[in-house]
């Protein structure tokens, strides 16, 4: 994930003729409810992000996907955010790459089991108190967005790299280094983001970095992950 950087001459991470890629989260539909983490008042925001993928992204199979009038592939994916109610405590967000549609990192850190068979961001049910209170103790917020083929409706098996763009642009939006999405004003924004995964999701994280999807679009070089 990327954090804000000083303005630099326009370019993009992949070097597409000095032109910025226009992939981005374009709109957000969300609902927020109260949640208790340990003994603290937190909030859980769930919903759907809508986004578009620039045809110049280096993704195998992208050219064969249906596009809009601007030639961009459009997608939607479920997401969730778990944050303190106190906005001053929203600093760093841990963004999880799901493992077969399950929030394995969250379950491991907080040591609890889902209270529902549905593990999707909008359908999962969590116990009151959210387990051990690891997030609160370590000053972390939590987020995840669907990005896996067979789980996220917008990530086709013929172009699995779309999932990397989804995670990248979701993280950029949260960490203030990407453009704000329409309807996203209520969503928290963070100073920085940490990307995490377990098992095959850890491979996803490694691949995202190795293929340069974590590079800040403004300077076109370097990143924080």
Q: Which residue has the tokens 């083929």?
A: 149
Interval 167-198: pLDDT, tens: 999 999 998 755 566 654 568 889 999 999 99
CA-to-CA distance for 196 and 178, rounded, in angstroms? 20
State the pTM of this model. Answer: 0.85
DSSP classification of residue 179: P
Residue 96 phi, psi dihedral angles, 5° rounding: -95, 135
CA-to-CA distance for 17 and 54, rounded, in angstroms? 14
Antiparallel, parallel or unpaired: β 92-96 and 192-196: parallel
CA-to-CA distance for 13 and 31, rounded, in angstroms? 33
Interval 6-54: pLDDT, tens: 333 333 444 444 578 899 999 999 999 999 888 889 999 999 999 999 9
Give the contacts of 69 (CB within 8 A, at least 6 positions apart): none
Q: Where are the alpha helices (DSSP H) in the chain?
A: 104-110, 134-137, 162-174, 200-210
Interval 97-132: pLDDT, tens: 999 999 999 999 999 999 899 999 999 999 888 888
């Amino acid at each position: 994930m990327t954090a804000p950087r000083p303005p630099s001459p326009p370019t993009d991470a992949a070097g597409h003729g000095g032109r910025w890629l226009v992939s981005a989260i374009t709109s957000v539909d969300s609902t927020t409810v109260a949640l208790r983490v340990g003994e603290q008042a937190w909030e859980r925001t769930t919903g759907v992000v809508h986004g578009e993928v620039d045809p110049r992204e280096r993704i195998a199979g992208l050219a064969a996907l249906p596009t809009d009038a601007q030639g961009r592939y459009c997608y939607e994916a479920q997401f969730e955010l778990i944050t303190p109610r106190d906005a001053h405590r929203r600093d760093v967000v841990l963004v999880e790459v799901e493992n077969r549609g399950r929030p394995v990192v969250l379950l491991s850190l907080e040591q609890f089991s889902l209270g529902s068979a549905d593990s999707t961001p909008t359908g999962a049910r969590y116990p009151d108190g959210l387990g051990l209170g690891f997030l609160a103790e370590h000053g972390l917020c939590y987020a995840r967005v669907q990005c896996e083929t067979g789980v996220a409706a917008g990530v086709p098996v013929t172009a699995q790299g779309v999932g990397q763009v989804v995670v990248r642009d979701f993280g950029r939006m949260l960490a203030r280094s990407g453009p704000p999405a329409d309807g996203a004003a209520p969503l928290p924004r963070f100073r920085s983001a940490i990307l995490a995964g377990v098992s095959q999701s850890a491979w996803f994280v490694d691949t995202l970095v190795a293929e340069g999807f974590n590079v800040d679009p403004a300077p076109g070089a370097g990143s924080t992950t």
